[in-house]
Structure 1
Amino acid sequence: MNKIDASESDPNHNEQSSSKTITEGNAVKYTLILIALTFVVRVLIGAYTGLGIGESYYFRGAVTLSLSYFDQPPLFFWLSGIMIKLFGLSNLTLRLPAIILFAGTSWLLFLITRKFFNARSGFWAVLIMNLSAVFTIPVATWFQPDAPLMFFWLLATYFIIQLLMPNANAKPRTTAQEYGLWTLVGVFMGLATLSKYHVLFLFVGVLMFIIANKAQRRWLTHGGPYLAVLITLIIASPILWWNAHNNWVSFAFQGSRAVSDGKFVLHPDWFLRSFIGQACWILPWIWLPVMKQLFQSFKQRNSSLPYSFVFWTSVLPIIFFTVITLWADLQYHFHWQAPGYLMLFIPVGYAIDKNLSDPARARGTRRWLRFSASFTLITIAFLSLHMITGFWQWYGPKYIVTHTHLGIDDPTIEGTDYLDIKARFEKEGWMKNPKLFAGCTRWWLTGKVDWALKGQKPIVCFSFDPRNLAFLVDPGTLKGYDAVVIMQNDTTSLYQDVTPFFAKVKRVPDIIITRNGREEVHLATYYCTHFQLPKSPRGDLPVYYQLKGLPPFGHSLNGKD
């Protein structure tokens, strides 16, 4: 059963009637044009906007290559590290792998949707994915693990469906050809595993699809899938090796996020926040049709192989990361369900094509498409321009923005590089002092400072939750050094977590972060003399263990900061 079955499930669908613009003959051309245009836009955004707090935090991993890392697998670090070696260090070189890979993701989504339904549906699926807020910039442009995950997830999926749903008129494959395709599946599943742990849901989803469809169950006794799993484990072995030598800390950290923090208590407010957050990240007027297709896939899971495959490979990450918010505080990680939504864009594209073929629905669908495209384009242009220039702080009403969890009036400042930090370091001569390092008390600010200094100074996070930073800089090599410790809206932790590690701590003038000549953020700055072990044990801080020559996380993990 292939795309013919999906079309037959809708007898009113006319293959020859659809949009007046997108046809079976020109869908490939328009899809490639769309991919090219969005690629150029993302290159410009990637080059001229600053790194966000997550990107800045990940930055040191790209210049300190390792077999794996504390909170993410290594592939996106490796790819950006290669770009840095080739083209030098810049915002664009860090982000370029994501931009390139998302162009590939768009093309793969087109190919898969075309195989399941038709080429017109493939174009609409790609368009809607590129209009969705979480995909069009965060996944497609930012230096994060999501872009390689999405690309290799779909690349593995493309070869899986060649095996599980061959064309009706195709010649039967030989055993050697089947094993060859399963080998490719294993390679790309391995690369997806090196991208992000979410790939587990693709493994389980494909298994559920095979079990749920009688004609597919022959693969349970075929050697090909098991070969693919073996290849995946071999390619993913750097993650296992690194974790085996670091007390399995990465798995412990990620696993701790899925359980309650202390006493088990249900939190309907967290659950509601997750629903609302997902809808906002996808965009509410896109999220509703997407959820409708999840329901449609569920209804047709036993009658249509394309819908069945979409259902089983989409529902698991969406349900899992939504349900656990009843007891686990996932905070604002609404993008963790994104692989599931990625698969649902496939039937959304087909639904759009059908609506455009229906005179009663075509006009409303076109209006919806125009509104979606206009909203996304205008919003991206507005936010990008403001992030670079800060013009709204000069000319816009202040009530539009409110205080964020960082204690600032304008959240877009989080995506501005704190270049004034390096200027201050150079002015004071701190950059030339080989016995001086930088420090902060929060992992996200540590990343912003580290990126501002372009990694030219060692940096230490004085927190119970330094995350990956604890593995990239060894505080034990900095004993006796001085430090410049920078804080943002947080003086309590200075006396609690920083002062015990130094012989003397002195406040110096704040570092003022400006944007287009306007003061945006004041960073409290302290000059700290002689880094040392504190007189009283601080077993709650990883830096304490490292100063004693021990692993940073010899104690319990807690990712809430």
Structure 2
Amino acid sequence: MNKNIDPAQNTSNNTSHTKKLTELNAARYTFYLIAATFIARLLIAAYTGLGIGESYYFRGVLNLSLSYFDQPPLFFWLSWLTTKIFGLTNIGLRLPAVLLFAGTSWLLFLITKRLFNAKAGFWAVLMMNLSAVFTIPVATWFQPDAPLMFFWLAATYFMVQLMLPVKDAPQRSRGNVYLQWIIIGICMGLATLSKYHVLFLFVGILIFVSANKNQRHWLRHPGPYLAVLITILFASPILWWNYHNAWVSFAFQGSRAGSDGKFVLHPDWFLRSFIGQACWILPWIWIPVMRQLYKAFKERNNSEAYSFILWTSVLPIVFFTVITLWADLQYHFHWQAPGYLMLFMPLGYAIDQNLNNPEKARSTRRWLRFSASFTIITITFLSLHMVTGFWQWYGPKYIVNRTHLGIDDPTIEGNDYLDIKTRFEKEGWLKNDKVFAGCTRWWLTGKVDWALKGEKPIVCFSYDPRNLAFLVDPGTLKGDDAVLITQNDTTSIYQDVIPFFDKVKRVPDIIVTRNGRPELHLATFYCTNFHLPSVPRKDLPVYYQLMGLPPFGH
């Protein structure tokens, strides 16, 4: 294990009252950093709209379940609790993520301090908070990643306590060791209830134990197996739900790792994955992080700390990158995030070393200032634009109009499309029990559902309705009318909607505004008498549901 002590530590400790970061004040500075970013994220969580994924997940909070189609249940359960306190608001849904990421930051500090030193812990937390994928998507959004990261690091913290003890530390009692493994099992169980990525932590720890002779005694110890048993018990809601739903969740996630039809290599997808990960981490942070992955590989036989970091970081990064050679993971560049999370620890130590090196200190300080300035300015700028649209004609909208990309300002997704509810209220649709809402794409269905705050049943007329197919039963809506909404696509109305109604009539578009300015036109249709189509539509889950069958015909 590496316990690195700064040669100047004694001197700096004696002047801890100054602003210089020292071993004595690193924890205090880390706390200040966590507190400041926590407050900033509360404001962002409260005042920016829900994105596509968040809106899509929203109805799961209204329909508590043992598990869900494409995600385990924990983040739904947590947000259900906070919405009971703060209502169906943006902060009500997002508060668990903000709270848990503050905890994640503190755990990262504690683990890095244990493996390296306290100053390294501060820098590790700072760099994680400056990284694009962590500082807002993981730390603020209503998604499963925040609880995953927190419980991933919580399990890691206790494993480090057991496997990499402080030198000359008193030997733990047998009862204490078992207690630690029980806690690890609980943390791993909660991580499993957060996201399926926890499998990589299991395998990584197994490789670490197998690869280090000083750790192999754990293979004979009952503790790890007790932890696995506890984890499985915590995962039982997921298994029970999938057992009663034809294992659709595992089939769906597993299909993402496979090729679609004939096996063909796609170097362009592979390259897209590399570029996407670099952009999500931020290129000037991603490159040093990857250097630490290489260093961990080189030092794996010399340092148990680096070996631990290597095997708990490399698997999700390599797996979700390599499979893009044949699997189209699209823009899910955050799937590698748990691996990068572990690499911030050695990165923090590398920063500490560089700052103590006269030849590297100046360039390192410049890099730190640039990284902090870029993240703070960019987040502030984009958050203000999402809320006010002040950059509308000079930023994304201008670029779109000049380049004829045929898309809307992507930041409009940070708007809650409240004009939808206004239109429903004006037309009397909201209070009419015989009118439901519908869309032809899962992502827009979520935006409409959140705009209406779940007050109307909503149906996704698509071959890919995902979780929505399990949360609303179209069979209870036979004979009702529907308001169908589409964005940039009306052909699906004629292909997938008209067969289910007696009459489909286009009505004036719903115009989504931001700060009083029109931003987006949503094509709107009023559909009369929802029924089973005369010609079977076995490609659409809604057809099976109208037949009284499970959504995917099983």
TM-score, L = length of structure 1: 0.96
Write the distance in 2 (CA, Å) between the matches of 1:506 and 1:328.
40
Residues 397, 188 of structure 1: alpha-carbon distance in 2 compared, 3 angstrom cutoff: closer
Question: What's the offset of the Cα at 1:107?
Answer: 0.1
2:257 maps to amino acid: A
Q: Equivalent residue of 2:274, what SS?
A: helix
- Tell me if structure 2 keeps the 8 A contact 1:487–1:524: yes
- Tell me if structure 2 keeps the 8 A contact 1:462–1:543: yes
1:313 maps to amino acid: T
* Aligned ranges 1:163-312 → 2 under 5 Å: 163-312=162-311
Write the distance in 2 (CA, Å) between the matches of 1:402 and 1:330.
29
Write the distance in 2 (CA, Å) between the matches of 1:41 and 1:219.
43
2:216 maps to amino acid: R
* Aligned ranges 1:356-435 → 2 under 5 Å: 356-396=355-395, 398-401=397-400, 407-435=406-434
Q: Equivalent residue of 1:330, what SS?
A: coil
Write the distance in 1 (CA, Å) between the matches of 2:82 and 2:210.
42
Question: What's the offset of the Cα at 1:399?
Answer: 4.4
Residues 17, 253 of structure 1: alpha-carbon distance in 2 compared, 3 angstrom cutoff: farther
Mapped pair 1:66 → 2:65: yes
- Tell me if structure 2 keeps the 8 A contact 1:407–1:489: no
* Aligned ranges 1:282-361 → 2 under 5 Å: 282-361=281-360
Question: What's the offset of the Cα at 1:394?
Answer: 3.8
Look up the match of 1:120: 119
Write the distance in 1 (CA, Å) between the matches of 2:106 and 2:515.
38
Write the distance in 2 (CA, Å) between the matches of 1:23 and 1:520.
50
Write the distance in 2 (CA, Å) between the matches of 1:257 and 1:348.
31
Residues 227, 140 of structure 1: alpha-carbon distance in 2 compared, 3 angstrom cutoff: same
Mapped pair 1:487 → 2:495: no
1:224 maps to amino acid: G
CA-to-partner distance for each residue in 1:152-183, whole Å, 9 max, x for gaps?
00000000111111111211112211111000
Residues 59, 403 of structure 1: alpha-carbon distance in 2 compared, 3 angstrom cutoff: farther
Look up the match of 2:156: 157
1:261 maps to amino acid: D
- Tell me if structure 1 keeps the 8 A contact 2:385–2:391: yes
Number of equivalent positions: 549
Quote the sequence identity (%): 77
2:381 maps to amino acid: F
Structure 2 unaligned residues grouped into runs of 5+: 13-17
CA-to-partner distance for each residue in 1:5-56, whole Å, 9 max, x for gaps?
xx38xxx965557897210011011000000000000000000000000000
Residues 185, 444 of structure 1: alpha-carbon distance in 2 compared, 3 angstrom cutoff: same
Look up the match of 2:134: 135
Write the distance in 1 (CA, Å) between the matches of 2:396 and 2:207.
52
Look up the match of 2:89: 90
- Tell me if structure 2 keeps the 8 A contact 1:257–1:329: yes
Mapped pair 1:471 → 2:458: no
Write the distance in 2 (CA, Å) between the matches of 1:16 and 1:299.
31
Residues 36, 287 of structure 1: alpha-carbon distance in 2 compared, 3 angstrom cutoff: same
Residues 397, 179 of structure 1: alpha-carbon distance in 2 compared, 3 angstrom cutoff: closer
Question: What's the offset of the Cα at 1:370?
Answer: 0.2
Moved more, 16-25 or 257-266: 16-25
Write the distance in 1 (CA, Å) between the matches of 2:221 and 2:348.
33
Mapped pair 1:519 → 2:518: yes
Write the distance in 2 (CA, Å) between the matches of 1:106 and 1:24.
18
Residues 548, 120 of structure 1: alpha-carbon distance in 2 compared, 3 angstrom cutoff: same
Look up the match of 1:103: 102
Residues 397, 204 of structure 1: alpha-carbon distance in 2 compared, 3 angstrom cutoff: closer
Mapped pair 1:528 → 2:550: no
Q: CA RMSD in A?
A: 1.7
Residues 398, 447 of structure 1: alpha-carbon distance in 2 compared, 3 angstrom cutoff: closer
Question: What's the offset of the Cα at 1:270?
Answer: 0.2
Q: Equivalent residue of 2:308, what SS?
A: helix
2:291 maps to amino acid: K
Look up the match of 2:15: none
- Tell me if structure 2 keeps the 8 A contact 1:421–1:453: yes
Question: What's the offset of the Cα at 1:408?
Answer: 3.0
Structure 1 unaligned residues grouped into runs of 5+: 556-561
Question: What's the offset of the Cα at 1:409?
Answer: 2.9
Write the distance in 2 (CA, Å) between the matches of 1:404 and 1:514.
23
Write the distance in 2 (CA, Å) between the matches of 1:30 and 1:532.
63
Write the distance in 2 (CA, Å) between the matches of 1:405 and 1:170.
65
- Tell me if structure 2 keeps the 8 A contact 1:301–1:307: yes
Question: What's the offset of the Cα at 1:415?
Answer: 1.2
- Tell me if structure 1 keeps the 8 A contact 2:436–2:480: yes
CA-to-partner distance for each residue in 1:213-245, whole Å, 9 max, x for gaps?
001000001000000000000011100000000
CA-to-partner distance for each residue in 1:335-380, whole Å, 9 max, x for gaps?
0000000000000000000000001100000000000000000000
Look up the match of 2:549: 550
- Tell me if structure 1 keeps the 8 A contact 2:70–2:252: yes
1:208 maps to amino acid: I
Residues 252, 404 of structure 1: alpha-carbon distance in 2 compared, 3 angstrom cutoff: farther
- Tell me if structure 2 keeps the 8 A contact 1:279–1:287: yes
Write the distance in 1 (CA, Å) between the matches of 2:142 and 2:406.
24
- Tell me if structure 1 keeps the 8 A contact 2:400–2:407: no
- Tell me if structure 2 keeps the 8 A contact 1:182–1:225: yes
- Tell me if structure 2 keeps the 8 A contact 1:403–1:409: no
Write the distance in 1 (CA, Å) between the matches of 2:274 and 2:550.
38
1:410 maps to amino acid: D
Q: Equivalent residue of 1:3, what SS?
A: coil
Q: Equivalent residue of 2:328, what SS?
A: coil
Write the distance in 2 (CA, Å) between the matches of 1:402 and 1:212.
56
Q: Equivalent residue of 2:551, what SS?
A: coil
Residues 402, 243 of structure 1: alpha-carbon distance in 2 compared, 3 angstrom cutoff: farther
CA-to-partner distance for each residue in 1:298-339, whole Å, 9 max, x for gaps?
000011011000000000000000000000000000000000
TM-score, L = length of structure 2: 0.97
Write the distance in 2 (CA, Å) between the matches of 1:537 and 1:385.
48
- Tell me if structure 1 keeps the 8 A contact 2:97–2:141: yes
Mapped pair 1:457 → 2:467: no
Write the distance in 2 (CA, Å) between the matches of 1:513 and 1:99.
28
CA-to-partner distance for each residue in 1:478-534, whole Å, 9 max, x for gaps?
111100000011111111100000111111110000111111110010000011000
